[in-house]
Structure formats: C-alpha cells, structure tokens
Amino acid sequence: MHASKPEASVPNTAYFSNNDVLTDPLNRISSEFKISANLQKRTAFWFDIYTKYGSQEHIIHHSRYPWIVYKVIDVSPILNSGEHRWTKHHKAEKAVINSRKIVSAVLRRLANKKNYRILSKEEREYFNLLSQVKGSRHKVFKEAYNNVRIQLGQKDFFRSGLVSGARYLSAIEKEFADNNLPTDLSRLPFVESSFNIKAQSKVGASGVWQLMPSVGNYYLLINDHIDERNSPLKASLVAIELFKRNYRSLRSWPLTVTAYNHGATGVHRALRAAKATNLSSLINSGHRGSFRFASANFFSSFLAVLHAEKYNREIFQVDLSASIPPIKYHIIALQKPMRARSLLAQVGMSSDRLLEYNLDLNKALSSNALLPRGYRLILPADIRALLKKNITNSTDRFRDASLTLKVKTSG
C-alpha cells in the first residue's frame, strides 16, 4: 500500500504562503505526486485557478504556457449590479470578449513588428511576459496570438466540493488503500466535477468521477431508473479499475492520471507521435492530434487540487468540512426484486436519508421503480442492528454484501 509520509509538527501558518503549499511543507502528499521542476509553473497556474480566482474572474492566458497570464477580468461589479439578470449576463460576456480582443490585438501588433525598440506600455508588458519563451520573437508572438485562451476561476466550486467531498473521501480512500493504490488519487473528482454529486456533462458523463456510459455500463447498473455512476462509492471502484489497468499499460503515474482523461490508447498514440517517453516531454513537444489543452493540463490540474485539498484549512483559514461527518456504511444485497418504496419501508428510512447513501436511486425513488435482485444497497452503519433480524431470519429479502465490481461479458 502506498502511504503519505508522517505529517510534521504543524508550524504557524504565517511561515508559509499559499504558493509554498506546492512544496508540501508538512509532508502530506505521497512521494508519487511531488511536483517535478518541469511542471511547477503549470501546476502553480492551476493552483491559483482553484484557490485564488473565483467564478466571476476570467483569466486571459497563453494556452501553450498557461502560467503566462495577460489579464484577469473580474465581472463581479457587473453581475452584482441591480440590472436584469440577462442584461448583466450579456454585459459581462461582452466585457470578457472585448478584453480578449484587446489582448489579441496587442499580440498581433508584436507579431507584425520588424523591431521592438519602440513599444507601447501594453506591448512592453506582453513582450516581457513572453521573454521566457524561447525562439525568434516573431514566431513567439505569432504563436501567442494564435493561442489566447480564457479560463474561468474555480475557487467557489472547489470550496463547495470540499464540503460535499468530506462525506465520501475517507471511504473512497479506504477503497484505494485496499487495492494497493496511492490514496491521493481519490482527489481526482475535484478536477472531474468539483466533487459535485449532481454533475452531468454535455457528452453524457455523470457522477463525481464523470464516467461515460460506455465505461459505466461495463461495470455498473445503468438503466432508466438507476445509474450507479452517481454513487461516489460504486463509481470509485470503476476509477480504481481504470487506474490499475492504465498503470499496467503506462507504468507512470503522470501518464496514468492523464489516461483517465485521454485514454491509455490515446496516450500511447500521442507518445509515439511526439517521440516522447514521459508526460513532460509530450507536453513540451506541442499539441499533436487529439492531445490538446485539456489532456496536456490534466495531471497538473490534479496536482493542484491535491495540494489545495490537503492544505485547505491553511489556505482558506477555516475547516470547511468540520460539520460534515464522514460516511460510515454497511452493504446489503437484495435477494429478490423489490419496489423502491417498499424498500424504504423495509429499512425504515426516509427517502432523503436513503439518497444520501444511494445517489444512484434518485430516479428510482421518485418513480417507485423495481430494483433488481442482487442490487447492492448502501446503508448507514448504525442501521445494521435494526436490519440484523431481517438479514438473519429473512434471507429471501436481504443478505450482507460488499462493494465489488461484476464485469459484464457478452454472450
């Protein structure tokens, strides 16, 4: 089992700043995920996205070198005004678009200049920002002009995720430890969904681990009424299997984490195309094929949220999860099909409390769907005594079970 090093005695937090967190001063990060020198700037950018900039701040930056930030547009004065909601939205959107146009115009002028002896204030600012990029100035400025990107701050979403994730993290950590995987991997949902238990993407991914239907169907129960991808615990088992499989193929944690976003086959293909042997050399080779911004920055985003979560009390100066007790649970399996509301009566729980433990049953409870034989129900640990009689003497109803995956095969 991989484990973090013992934590050092906690110093006065005044002795280290937020950026010092990335050096892991209290040894809270496992050795597999210390930040390498060639990823420090990239990770620091994402660390600021998750801990410094809120959802009303738009960061205009270089997509190839994200840490080169041209301008930060704070639209909160617009959004907090007394105007109509849609009026505020359109004004904020226009302000961001106009700012991007201004940045692009400055970079285009730099790219078209024959010499750089006479520069405006903004031109000089961007000229200095881009001095860290090697190559002829004309090519550097042209590349910068073609790679202007806007990133929205995530601080608000990350703080919310710290609260919602507090209920599940210790249980998910245990599953990773039991499978001999680094427990730090359990923080990936902060990248995938900000640990939003209701997260659904436009392309069909669902749950805190953002599993696609094709992956979920291979391991979990998904139908019109039940979607086990929405159970943080059950979906974690799928993530564990993906990490195991990808690590066997790639033999590198930076590449394995990247494969969660890009797929192991895609990572292998990108490595071959770039003639690269590791993630850093792959990123530095430039974006090739489908390996673009999201894939190139996925591992650095993970390192950023990992450090931010481990040091969240020091960063935000408050324990956001103090009032959220970790989930303690017991698993039972249905021995025969049962209607959802009948199940509620059997276990003696309200629908709201049952949903806290079984988010995959949201639609099933509202439609009183028939739950299939073998369905695994997650219950509060303290309810086991109340069910003991049913489990022991009524084996036609329930049996004790565990959280394991049953891979579906064809034929």
Q: Are residues 190 and 301 in the same domain?
A: yes
Do the beta carbons of residue 337 and residue 373 sit within 8 Å?
yes
Report if residue 241 sits inside a domain.
yes
Q: Among the three residues 152, 177, 199, which one is the final residue of a domain in this structure? A: 152
Q: How confident is the model at residue 391 (pLDDT cuts 50, 70, 90)?
A: low
Structural domains of the chain, count: 3
Instruction: Please name which of 242, 185, 236, 192 lies closest in space to residue 360, comparing C-alpha atoms.
Output: 236
pLDDT above 90: percentage of residues in the chain = 80
* Contact residues for 322 (Cβ-Cβ < 8 A; gap 6+): none
Terminal Cα-to-Cα distance of the chain (whole angstroms) = 36
Q: How confident is the model at residue 386 (pLDDT cuts 50, 70, 90)?
A: low
Q: Are residues 270 and 165 in the same domain?
A: yes
Q: Are residues 140 and 186 in the same domain?
A: no
* Contact residues for 392 (Cβ-Cβ < 8 A; gap 6+): none
Report if residue 49 sits inside a domain.
no
- H helix or E strand, kind and range, residue 303: helix 293-310
Q: Among the three residues 316, 350, 375, which one is the final residue of a domain in this structure? A: 316
Q: Are residues 147 and 162 in the same domain?
A: no
- Taking 90 as the threshold, does the pLDDT of residue 402 lie above it? no
pLDDT digits 0-9 by tens, 178-221: 999 999 999 999 999 999 999 999 999 999 999 999 999 999 99
Instruction: Give the model's pLDDT for residue 382.
Output: 80
Instruction: Give the model's pLDDT for residue 79.
Output: 96
Residue with tokens 């036609």: 396
Q: Among the three residues 316, 343, 362, which one is the final residue of a domain in this structure? A: 316
Instruction: Give the model's pLDDT for residue 396.
Output: 66
Q: How confident is the model at residue 7 (pLDDT cuts 50, 70, 90)?
A: very low
Domain coverage including residue 340: 329-400
The span from the CA of 26 to the CA of 9, in Å, is 8
Measure Cα distances from 288 to 55, 122, 236, 260, 295 in Å. Answer: 30, 31, 31, 18, 11
Q: Are residues 334 and 305 in the same domain?
A: no
The span from the CA of 160 to the CA of 135, in Å, is 42
Residue with tokens 């095969």: 409
pLDDT digits 0-9 by tens, 97-147: 999 999 999 999 999 999 999 999 999 999 999 999 999 999 999 999 999
- Taking 60 as the threshold, does the pLDDT of residue 88 lie above it? yes
Instruction: Please name which of 263, 235, 232 lies closest in space to residue 250, comparing C-alpha atoms.
Output: 263
Q: Are residues 218 and 312 in the same domain?
A: yes
Q: How confident is the model at residue 19 (pLDDT cuts 50, 70, 90)?
A: confident
Q: Which amino acid is at 114?
A: K
Q: How confident is the model at residue 384 (pLDDT cuts 50, 70, 90)?
A: low
**Could you give the count of Cα atoms lying within 13 Å of 233 in the half-sphere of its Cβ?**
26
Q: Are residues 311 and 218 in the same domain?
A: yes
pLDDT digits 0-9 by tens, 222-241: 999 999 999 999 999 999 99
The CATH number of residue 199's host domain is: 1.10.530.10
Instruction: Give the model's pLDDT for residue 144.
Output: 98
Q: Are residues 141 and 212 in the same domain?
A: no
Q: Is 244 exposed, middle or buried (0-12, 13-18, 19+ CB in 10 A)?
A: middle
Report if residue 83 sits inside a domain.
yes
Q: How confident is the model at residue 5 (pLDDT cuts 50, 70, 90)?
A: very low
Do the beta carbons of residue 197 and residue 164 sit within 8 Å?
yes
Prediction pTM value:
0.92
Q: Are residues 126 and 148 in the same domain?
A: yes
Instruction: Please name which of 328, 376, 390 lies closest in space to residue 356, comparing C-alpha atoms.
Output: 328
Angle ∠(132,291,154) on CA atoms, nearest 5: 70
pLDDT digits 0-9 by tens, 256-300: 999 999 999 999 999 999 999 999 999 998 766 889 999 999 999
Instruction: Give the model's pLDDT for residue 388.
Output: 57
Q: Are residues 199 and 298 in the same domain?
A: yes
Instruction: Give the model's pLDDT for residue 411.
Output: 38
Q: Report the mean per-residue pLDDT for the chain.
A: 91
pLDDT digits 0-9 by tens, 320-361: 777 788 999 989 999 999 999 998 888 888 999 999 999 999
Instruction: Please name which of 219, 221, 172 lies closest in space to residue 192, comparing C-alpha atoms.
Output: 172
Report if residue 267 sits inside a domain.
yes
**Could you give the count of Cα atoms lying within 13 Å of 308 in the half-sphere of its Cβ?**
30
- Dihedrals φ, ψ of 64, to 5°? -75, -35
Q: Are residues 241 and 390 in the same domain?
A: no
Report if residue 17 sits inside a domain.
no
- Taking 80 as the threshold, does the pLDDT of residue 245 lie above it? yes
Report if residue 143 sits inside a domain.
yes
Q: Are residues 104 and 176 in the same domain?
A: no
Report if residue 27 sits inside a domain.
no
pLDDT digits 0-9 by tens, 48-57: 999 999 999 9
Report if residue 207 sits inside a domain.
yes
